[in-house]
Structure 1
């Protein structure tokens, strides 16, 4: 059989269509089962040229049969990294929530666009209700929200809205509406998307001013105040401050109340990038880490990170309603007619710069329905419990591991593995240099073995170190014990 035997090419193709989709589903289900099998590898690593030899990736001139397509599906998953594996701790988005997966499957089957209520009525209402619930958790009484394609674009939306709020004529007049060079402020450890936003908005990366951080990676409020005053003295026009709630590497939470005070003092937009750390708002035990978030003007929050929703699922929330539509509306009447037979305020396409939007709400809504607020609170508390267990295990084997930060604020745990030859070497710059050289070598062995995946990077004066992420509910104490033993097995003789 080929594609012509399936719906819609063959209107009598119900049976072959059902059989083909069932077999594809079987391939996916088998993959999910292997994902949670701790005896299976996370990946079967091949170098790019090797993988091109193993896989048939060419686009054919004539149609292939459906059996070959099923083989292609199996091969794609065979060589794919199992990001839901309990021992995959490489990214901020780890794990595989089965209910969210079910939501993604239904989303693909519906295959609709989220720009009007006309074609996505159920999903638009789901987004409306879920975003309102998230704003209530943040502490906004009213406001507006949208799902965006990633945290970087969410941060860009915040900066665009801030500029529009301060200079509403910019939309029509562009640079001529500005009294001088605009500049924004973010911490040295913030996500690079703020620098990207400055570039995309025409401010220039030099006008994304990085604020120094303390020893734990948190923005220093006094330095923010100083830099704002310095920028004003140079004739620049500060308009936006981004505080980070959960930095990418250290997981640091900037002091939001103190930053809010400074923004209030200078009349600047206060944005919180909680793409990573936003999930703490769901736990009474952890919410204090984001004290002051309710004073912000906007918040980025990615449910595809700590909350475990499948990629991608990023939200941006505004305290003031109407800004999104005012900032981005282009009034394309061939899409967003105002005389439709329903309340057109439910249409979202004119709120965003991208027009069409993927349906990212259903997998979030369905997962939240399955857990409830109570289940997500337990989810967050469990991630912190596993993180604390890892920290204590690392500290108990200080001959083999050295912590970068003694007490991490989020589930990022940063450390160096110490191979046998360096365990008796005195502390100092040379030892740190050698440790920085060891970590990438150990990562290479890790990927070849396929049993474990942890990311590494340098930061400030620190040479390469591992940053272990726990954002999957599948991780348990046995996995953490295995990780520590496996690092020593793979790296002992480096």
Structure 2
């Protein structure tokens, strides 16, 4: 075969995408049989081929039965089921074999496009919008004359966010470049600088602020600790901590990533001092001041305070103004882990009280792939003065970095431990460009509206007991199954919670559980792409399964 007769890279990519696309579209369509309609949909028996009855694969058909949210197996069992696929071959499988591999991957993966996915802090991908809106759309004789309901209008921003996100991922794969130096990624570099600067503006971090993309919230928190140490105590950049006892502070409900970072960077996990929280999970500033003073009396050096905007379990926002006062008093770095709740900043009304004083922080972590529904991974570390990041991270690598420290920084890997860097900011940039700040604000407001609906349903149920703060600080709702409002002992509550969570998968729902004051409770994360009926059916399913578990307990006793 001559060079001129070989398929071009463009043709090869087009052919492969044409082969894989039906599998991906089919996978997404399975979510059309969402948790909000399982009562009336027959069990799944076939893998839908991705086309409607007329062979048209351009329109979603929510009436075609789909796969379960997840085909669940224990790790050892799934390893056996996937053994042929996991056995990497000596000779390549080619395109036909690749299709089989992709089918297996999709078959045994959680379908996060499904309405019933309410397990983790990132939201389910639901580009197709509401079932009701698209049933109307599918059945319209003339698509141009499709009816628009209020719910359709309400869902428009989220219906497109995921479409944009999928496109952004494809664009990044096609570009296949490293955003470490400007020379090889000029457009993506400017996009990252623009996005981080705008995010810093939303948090009122000041004129010198900026940021850097990170591979997740934990990485953002870890990088902030390095910048804090090297900025407040510059000698540590070259000499290390050298036996000095620096200590770090975080709330009792803070994320575990700070403890991991302390282990990685030589502080040790014992250097992380927990600060008591109040009845709704917020750090108590007076207690922070107390433990800081105690550390000083022991001869330790208070270095860093990790405040939280949206704790993992209860969703609480710490009192940032008061914490900043303590940090100023003792010369400590104030970081805000806003990985979960930071994106509330897009809505002025909801962020006014929650983020009061956040602009006084030295650094903030924010992760749009959670609250904003941008595809994983999308996370940023914002710094009040971007030069702090450069001075803390830069090393003499003249073969790669050509930054002039007196001017703007464009070789972005000089601001972070990473050298290999993906252009993930493009995903938020495209969504932000399409919808504008107002559109993202509407998405945040809709998400809080849906979470408040679940709160109301739990509060009014005679079979459930609310464990979340009321009103809700963020988008997760925590509650116990408690017949007649009476909680059992910790062991019984924990057993019932785990049983209910496990059985919910069979009803088309994935939720989580977490430890609480009376044993483990259910923790449900709600985003704006959840239909009201999905939320109502979830509550009914929990009530029914809870009663089922209690009946079984009585029989066994």
Which stretches in structure 1 are left out of the alignment for 5+ residues? none
For residues 21-59 of structure 1, give each alpha carbon's deviation from its aligned partner in whole angstroms, at most 9, with x where no partner exists.
Answer: 222123222222333441542112122233233332210
**Quick check: 1:199 aligned with 2:195?**
no
Q: Say if 1:21 and 1:64 are closer, same or farther in 2 by CA, change over 3 A.
A: same
1:150 to 216, 232, 242: 216
Q: Say if 1:369 and 1:107 are closer, same or farther in 2 by CA, change over 3 A.
A: same
**Quick check: 1:71 aligned with 2:133?**
no
Larger RCO, structures 1/2 (Cα 8 Å, 6+ apart):
1
Q: Say if 1:146 and 1:9 are closer, same or farther in 2 by CA, change over 3 A.
A: farther
Q: Which residue of 2 aligns with 1:54?
A: 81
3-state SS in 1 of match to 2:167: helix
Q: Which residue of 2 aligns with 1:468?
A: 524
Q: Say if 1:172 and 1:424 are closer, same or farther in 2 by CA, change over 3 A.
A: closer
Distance 1:139 1:282 in 2: 12
**Quick check: 1:159 aligned with 2:188?**
no
* 1:454 positional shift: 0.4
Q: Which residue of 2 aligns with 1:482?
A: 537
Assess if the C-alpha contact under 8 Å between 2:27 and 2:106 holds in 1. Answer: yes
2:438 to 351, 374, 379: 374
Segment of structure 1 superposing worse, 24-33 or 211-220: 24-33
Distance 1:191 1:290 in 2: 18
* 1:435 positional shift: 1.3
Assess if the C-alpha contact under 8 Å between 1:415 and 1:466 holds in 2. Answer: yes
* 1:345 positional shift: 2.6
Assess if the C-alpha contact under 8 Å between 1:45 and 1:450 holds in 2. Answer: no
For residues 446-465 of structure 1, what are the structure 2 equivalents within 5 Å? Answer: 446-447=504-505, 449=506, 451-459=508-516, 461-465=517-521
Q: Which residue of 1 aligns with 2:499?
A: 441
Q: Say if 1:291 and 1:406 are closer, same or farther in 2 by CA, change over 3 A.
A: closer
Q: Say if 1:218 and 1:358 are closer, same or farther in 2 by CA, change over 3 A.
A: same
Assess if the C-alpha contact under 8 Å between 1:42 and 1:450 holds in 2. Answer: no
Distance 2:450 2:315 in 1: 15
Assess if the C-alpha contact under 8 Å between 2:314 and 2:469 holds in 1. Answer: no
Q: Say if 1:296 and 1:74 are closer, same or farther in 2 by CA, change over 3 A.
A: same
Distance 1:67 1:240 in 2: 54
Q: Which residue of 1 aligns with 2:380?
A: 315
For residues 16-27 of structure 1, what are the structure 2 equivalents within 5 Å? Answer: 16-27=12-23
* 1:406 positional shift: 4.6
**Quick check: 1:220 aligned with 2:247?**
no
For residues 284-433 of structure 1, what are the structure 2 equivalents within 5 Å? Answer: 284-288=348-352, 289-337=354-402, 345-397=409-461, 399-407=462-470, 408-418=472-482, 423=483, 427=487, 430-433=488-491
2:175 to 107, 110, 120: 110
Which stretches in structure 2 are left out of the alignment for 5+ residues? 39-65, 126-161, 550-557
Q: Which residue of 2 aligns with 1:87?
A: 116
TM-score using structure 1 length: 0.91
Q: Which residue of 2 aligns with 1:255?
A: 319
